[in-house]
Amino acid sequence: MTNTRKITYSAVGAAVSAVCIFLTNFGWLKVSLLMAAALCYYIVAVKCGIWYGAASIVVGLVVAASVGGVFGFSAFLLDAFVFAPYAILAYCIRRLHYTKWKTALLRIVAMAAFANIALCLIWFCAKWLTTIDIVAIASKVGGYPLLALVFTALAVVFDFLFNQLAIRLIKLLK
């Protein structure tokens, strides 16, 4: 693949991801739009290399922050702290498929570790940036450990769906 084509893939991936992040301000499908943004980053990384994928992430986040402004701040933070790093992680573990139990177990362990780190980042950002008493809310639903368990289970399901969709889209782009 030529450098011009790689730059084009990166620019299109960054633009589509920025639009997805911006659209989270208006729609009901916030997580699926952020998943689409992560999918853009991942596809650029797989097709063009990790550095082009990282450049796509940076450009997409800068464009989303400049266009979204104050209204898109929560979507920007979620993408910056969860979905963009997830796209890099997914690129690094792309050879671990859910078809074999050993590789599936390794992928689930990697996702569980990532999900708990991401939840800690979200937890501290929510405590620092908002006036909402997130500790009181979490204690009503079972506390942080239960929240972490549910978030980890949802992250593994998300990873499975993301992996299946990414495999099909990359085959489609060949």
What is the value of pTM for the model shown?
Answer: 0.85
Q: What are the pLDDT digits (tens) for 74-132? A: 778 888 888 999 999 999 999 998 888 899 999 999 999 999 998 888 877 777 776 66
d(CA 174, CA 171): 6
What is the pLDDT, as a whole number, of residue 132? 65
DSSP string for 95-158: T--TTSHHHHHHHHHHHHHHHHHHHHHHHHHHHHH--S-HHHHHHHTTHHHHHHHHHHHHHHHH
* Number of neighbours of residue 148 by Cβ within 10 angstroms: 17
Q: Are 52 and 45 in contact (CB under 8 A)?
A: yes
Torsion of CA 158, 164, 168, 170, to 10 degrees: 70
